Amino acid sequence: MKQHGIVLDHEREARLGFDEAIYCAGKSVQQVEAIVADGLATSARRLFTRLDAFKFEAMDAASRQALDYDAVSRTAFLGARRAARQAARVAIVTGGSSDLPASREAARTLEYYGQGSLHVPDVGVAGLHRLLARIDEIRPMRVVIAVAGMEGALPSVLGGLVPGVVIALPTSVGYGVSEGGRAALHSALASCAPGLLTVNIDNGYGAACAALRVLAPAQ
């Protein structure tokens, strides 16, 4: 692996309970292939993030066949997944369908670690009745990941309606002052909902890992 400029963190699972996630943006096709080959040789489980479809299609056939790839979230799994738990304890609530890539990255990360999730799509505050119609499904969840771009109001609304841990996942969906997700991020950071947590823009992986840390003491 050193010839590819890669040094993997093989002790991360022992320290944190997480496998090392392979962030593929900025890595060459050859580097990703080398990491896949190393994982196959050592029977390692790996989660790949930000693996876009162009890079995936450019990989050799053996690497592609070894991966469980999802183009929407740009994630891939290598190796056997952890045994799935029966009941979902995390809700992933999205403001609009444009937020799907970030919410799907969160869902896939949870899936990789054997955690199911309740997906509640397209319930943004422009039509608050849509959220209220499903609030009874969301309220029992221990963690709620609130995914929203534009003005990013959804996390604050959920923070005032449910007792579980609410994690704001701002997305880069928007234009004008909302462009790039800054407005949604600032909205989450400035929220008056008590105890609201916030991850970086479009960081579905980070939101899922935060949820897993919340759940870990009860596992």
pLDDT digits (tens, 9 = 90+) for 4-32: 566 665 555 556 667 778 899 989 999 99
Whether residue 147 has pLDDT greater than 90: yes
Q: How many domains does the chain have?
A: 2
Instruction: Kindly state whether residues 48 and 20 are assigned to the same domain.
Output: yes
Asked if residue 84 belongs to a domain, the reply is no
- Neighbouring CB atoms inside 10 A of 178's CB total 19
Q: Which of 29, 51, 78 is the last residue of a domain?
A: 78
Burial of 31 (0-12, 13-18, 19+ CB in 10 A): middle
Which residue in 34, 55, 62, 29 sits closest to 46, CA to CA?
34
Query: Which amino acid is present at 103?
Result: S
Task: Give 217's pLDDT tier (boundaries 50, 70, 90).
Answer: confident
Highest mean pLDDT among 37-51, 75-89, 138-152: 138-152
pTM of the model: 0.88
Question: Taking a C-beta distance cutoff of 8 angstroms, is the pair 204, 109 a contact?
Answer: yes
29 lies in which domain range? Answer: 2-78
pLDDT digits (tens, 9 = 90+) for 188-211: 999 999 999 999 999 999 999 999
**CA dist 213 → 10, 18, 76, 99, 142 (Å):** 20, 10, 22, 23, 12
